[in-house]
Amino acid sequence: MEWNGQTRTCGLIGNPVEHTLSPLIQNHLAQSLGQNLVYVPFHVPEGGLRAAVEGAYALNLLGLNVTVPYKSRVMEYLDQVDPAARRIGAVNTLVRTGDGFKGYNTDMPGLYRAMGEDGVKVTGRKVLLLGAGGAARAVAVMLWEKGAERIYILNRTPQRARELAEHINGLGPQPGREPSSRPLAEAMALEDYPALAGEKYLAIQTTSVGMYPRTGEALIEDSAFYELVQEGYDLIFNPAKTRFMELVEAAGGRAFGGSRMLVYQGIISFELWTGEQVPPRLAREICALMPFSK
């Protein structure tokens, strides 16, 4: 694609950004769809976040992605924040408006879109959520929004699981559903999963356990846990198949990794910036290009 005086710029701000795959996603989308747009990473050192956001707006950037450690802190420098991103407490996409940038979180819409392609429903499901960090909070908010029936939060530190459960239960009635006397989210110690036996669940693994290069690890190794899992999602995208996924499949469940969530969160950012709907074939095409460890 030829760049010229009409080319718009988008990018990524974070610290570090050197290993990001976002330029591969966004520049492939722009080229495939004929958008006169280029996407580049910007390393923003500690203390430079406000200047980076204001400078990006002054330079007429169309939009930005935001990665660690700035997903929460960036919100104070935005003109608007989407309500879903506010509930999650993190923003990963900035869209230019007339008065500044508006912040969105496309991670969870990305996961939800991937689930839809996989034929996995969330509404009315009982979910095992492994972990209680920032990623778990984002998933839990998505489950609240999409009508999950029950969320069991399993974490090594029960107090963190309780804090997340309190946050989710404090959001109030789920959209489009009648108020319930029973809390949606329940905190559990990691080793207490035998109490959930007798049903099949959707399980979502949100921790970093099993990420490259420590690919032989899983948060829970006991095969009895995986007998509970009908579908298992691991948010890790490198390696392409994690130990968690292997254990889910060994117990007869369907397992999915984080690669399509990664691609779809980028696609949704692209759609917000350009207004163009991206066809599913491009998501599959980009996934095939990703340099994930096997």
pLDDT at 293: 52
d(C-alpha 269, C-alpha 104), whole Å: 9
Q: What phi and psi, each to the nearest 5 degrees, are found at residue 285?
A: -65, -45
The yes-or-no answer on residue 102 being catalytic is no
The pTM assigned to this predicted structure is 0.93
pLDDT at 57: 98
d(C-alpha 115, C-alpha 106), whole Å: 14
d(C-alpha 272, C-alpha 103), whole Å: 11
DSSP 278: P
Tokens representing residue 95 in the block = 């869209």
The helix or strand, by DSSP H or E, that contains position 39, with its residue range, turns out to be strand 37-43
In tens, the pLDDT along 106-135 reads: 999 999 999 999 999 999 999 999 999 999
pLDDT at 145: 96
> Kindly report the CA angle at 45 between 75 and 274, in degrees rounded to 5?
50
d(C-alpha 8, C-alpha 270), whole Å: 12
pLDDT at 294: 52
d(C-alpha 73, C-alpha 224), whole Å: 40
What is the number of other CB atoms lying within 10 angstroms of the CB of residue 99?
Answer: 9
Handedness of CA 51, 49, 259, 271 (dihedral sign): negative
d(C-alpha 217, C-alpha 181), whole Å: 38
Q: Which domains does the chain have, with CATH numbers?
A: 8-105+261-289 (3.40.50.10860), 109-257 (3.40.50.720)
pLDDT at 277: 96
Distances (CA, A) of 53 to 8, 61, 230, 272, 283: 16, 10, 43, 18, 29
What percent of the chain shows pLDDT beyond 70? 99
Active-site option among 71, 102, 146, 241? 71
Strand partners, 203: 128, 232
Handedness of CA 160, 204, 272, 259 (dihedral sign): positive
Average pLDDT, the chain: 95
d(C-alpha 186, C-alpha 170), whole Å: 12
Instruction: Tell how far CA 62 is from the center of its chain.
Output: 22
pLDDT at 178: 78
d(C-alpha 128, C-alpha 220), whole Å: 12
Q: Which amino acid is at 270?
A: F
What is the number of other CB atoms lying within 10 angstroms of the CB of residue 264?
Answer: 27
DSSP-derived pairing of the beta strands 150-155 and 201-205: unpaired
DSSP 275: -
- Tens-digit pLDDT string for the chain (294 aa): 788 999 999 999 999 999 999 999 999 999 999 999 999 999 999 999 999 999 999 999 999 999 999 999 999 999 999 999 999 999 999 999 999 999 999 999 999 999 999 999 999 999 999 999 999 999 999 999 999 999 999 999 999 999 999 999 999 999 888 777 789 999 999 999 999 999 999 999 999 999 989 999 999 999 999 999 999 999 999 999 999 999 999 999 999 999 999 999 999 999 999 999 999 999 999 999 988 755
pLDDT at 211: 94
What DSSP string describes 78-90?
Answer: -SEE-HHHHHHT-
Tokens representing residue 283 in the block = 């998501």
